[in-house]
Amino acid sequence: MPRAAALAGRGRGAPGPSMSTRFLLLFVAAIGAHGTVVGTNPPSAPLTATRIAKLPVEQQPAWRAYLARSDALRHIDQQTLANERSASSAKDQVLLSPAESRVAARRMLRHPLDWYATDEARRAADNVVTFQTPAGGWGKNFDPTDHPRRPGEAYSHDNNSRYLVAEDNDRPANLDWSYIGTFDNDATTTELRFLGRVAARADAARGTEWRRAFRRGLEYIYAAQFPNGGWPQVFPLDGGYHDGVTFNDDAMTNVLVLLRDVAAGAPEFAWLGDADRQRAATAGERGRQCLLRCQVVVRGALTGWPQQADPLTLKPASARNYEMPALSSGETAGIVAYLMSLPHPSAEVIAAIEGAVHWLRATAMSDVAWRTAADGRGRTLVRAPGKGPLWPRYLEIGTNRALFGDRDKTIHDRLDEISAERRNGYAWYGDAPKRVLDEYPQWARAHHAR
């Protein structure tokens, strides 16, 4: 069903089953009485010259230019580090886990505002600048405020999976190179916000380097934006699922929120000029239109968003071996929160919010908890009267059945069928949508949504 037809219905589908029936169906699907391998996760198609050559002729020049830009910046990233290491033996920085990395990144933005004018903040900002990649972004899973980068030190740690096997969906195109610039795990957007806050509290002379680094970071964002408005997880491109339009961990949403604030002249960006704000607004609008096009339509109704979408078709795409094309409750919640933050939402944005809220309400699970089972099975979904709501991380498009993946690429409809390592090492359920559902009624009253 075309998106225009779905918009005509304002995101509303046919009446669904009752709340108790929905809960029973979802609970049975989640812990299931008849689970089986329901599919094999396919690899995502990277953005290549071959794929671009199959596009309509008028679209090809912009995509070819994008790919050439990515290739050129990747070469600069690689050559710069190689040149440094030919004269240096600096050790890599301390690796943080993804969770630790996000804590460290968010800590950068949780200080009292007066702190960003202190010498401590300025030393941290100087350190952040040293870890900016030659292409203009930042890596993930380390603390860039901890120390200044030494010549030859990696801009980011080795991002290659420890579980790589033959034909792995996460296998890099070049085993000798690990990508560095990324929007994943709050990278790049966090460093830019931090630099903006410090620069806003410094005079023109003292803040020159921070402002220059910030502008380079904005240029990186603009360079990374696809011709269709989306952003990949990694830039310069690294192949595989990293090339997809990425909502996972709020990667693209974080970029859109940053551009929204730059365009609005938020206090930490007030030192930017009108031309900077207009450019951010234009890039943000292009990104927003791409985001809306990625919303999945099921039987004429707007629903949620996937974690990744193919860069050319914008259809849901896979990521790692255990992350299949599906609707994603957590990423949908982050997108809805962003859309509800827009001061003057268009009719299309309102329809997208309403459709997603309707879908999130329909897939909520009550009286359950995601916890470690007492019988030694590890983390699982258990009956817990009064608890919830919770949502499966992945829901099958069209049925809303909970899906679970494993490192061997098998897709299951029962959590207890996947390996203990994946069952206990991944957030298969979450409550992120609860906050946006709680805020939706007030937003709806303010914007006359139905």
Q: What is the dihedral of CA 257, 321, 240, 62, to 10 degrees?
A: -50
Return d(Cα 26, Cα 392) in angstroms, integer: 9
Query: Cα separation of 173 and 176, whole Å?
Result: 9
Q: How far, in Å, CA of 24 to CA of 66, rounded?
A: 48
In the structure encoding, which two tokens stand for residue 267, read together?
């206090």
Residue 185 among the catalytic residues: yes
- Active site includes 320? yes
Which of these is catalytic: 41, 141, 159, 185? 185
Residue partners of 133: CB distance under 8 A and separation at least 6: 77, 139, 155, 180, 181
What are the CA-CA distances from residue 211 to residues 133, 221, 416 (Å)?
16, 15, 51
Determine the Cα–Cα distance for residues 145 and 105; give it in Å rounded to an integer.
Answer: 9
Which of 320, 393, 407, 422 is an active site residue?
Answer: 320
Nearest to 104 by CA among 186, 193, 161: 186
Q: Catalogue the active-site residues.
A: 185, 320
